[in-house]
Structure 1
């Protein structure tokens, strides 16, 4: 039996980590991005701009077994999101149709921004997705495009991704960041390596013939109030001074559950922010 193949569209931080994990298991991995020089070693490069209607010359001649769409918007406004997530996906689906190719499954990487709940309630994949901002609204539209593509699809709604190079909170805590304690502002997060690990796990589960749901939330085991996370980081990093003024960067507050993914057999390498941030500060992860 030939090695399974995957095409990762948007092979950046999470996509690159996914590629490395699959290469270890001898998958054939193709990565599509503008700057292919940043692709991990062993990945077949596809240089492409999703703004272009022309199918890239390096596009696989044989349909990939799997397609993972995990792009990042270049501009953070409604037009930029629509271009990256809706029109970009539409372009890739058009290239597949043009070549008469049908992957066995599409994984579309989405965001928990599709949930507008803000009272600290627990959220799972069955919760109402009624976004109030443009990011969640556009992402939900892109999800629906993926599910209606004619390719078996699963949506993976990632929560706040952190990891090496994604260290905004660490920087803010060092600078004396203080966050509102009451009411508690629950945050959800997943280490970048675990985000990639969940995608890899789902691909392998499908390859094994296991039945996948059409949606999974990517989150660690421990949604916590942001004030508790900040307090722990202060103590861990030895920060002894912080602002007298409380700051609130967002109004949302919810706790996302990973029960569906864990029931399938997945477990995060970094089950909480403590293990994840400790690894970052130790130069690992």
Structure 2
């Protein structure tokens, strides 16, 4: 937008050419020529330049037309090649879509896609199942197997092993009413072992039954206790005195402990050493019985056909 005054030309003007809006007066009247006597600079031939530019545009247009024709020929050749090569692609189904045939091996035979079974693998065997019924609990059973070595250590507390025994006459190694309880519930065998530490002796007796139900009944009905087992460096204990008796079970095994002082002293609730020894031997026995189930379950898991 103009706000008055001369309009500045947008293109160079030739010498002597009329201004498009008429000859404009000198904007600085009376001013002298700042370069008196100097020649006007050489002015290019604008008409010739315009003709040359038009010719260049015509040549460019012809080049574009020729290049387009060549590109059309090249695309046609590519399409023809694709059509010819298409005869070797995988076969198409009736609906016209390509049917995958799997990857081809070196011999040309398609490799089938991998398949996965939707059936979940069976869970691993439960160790307790193997120690809960004599039909599955087939591992060898002995006093040395349950109570191996000459010592045992629980949480840094070392116990020396004394005598061991095994009998099928369960009532003969029980005191009080425990003998009849074992016999009534079908006890098959009792394995005993004695340990000693710092004047405290403990006998643990493991009663073996055919089923878990029988062992559980024997534990719940327990009265009296397992007979203390002396020998192999351990003198008589828990005779005509007060001792600590406990009962528990796991699977088809019920186990009983009797702990007391080797000097015949009566056990009181304040005798922590006796209670600790009873706990340690009961825990050790539990672990040993459970280890039987774990080893048999592991063997069954790795056996063919299981």
Q: Shorter-chain TM-score: what band?
A: under 0.3
> Larger relative CO (CA 8 A, sep 6+): 1 or 2?
1
Report which of the two structures shows the higher radius of gyration computed on alpha carbons: 2
Question: TM-score, with normalisation over the residues of structure 2?
Answer: 0.25
TM-score, normalised by the number of residues in structure 1: 0.26
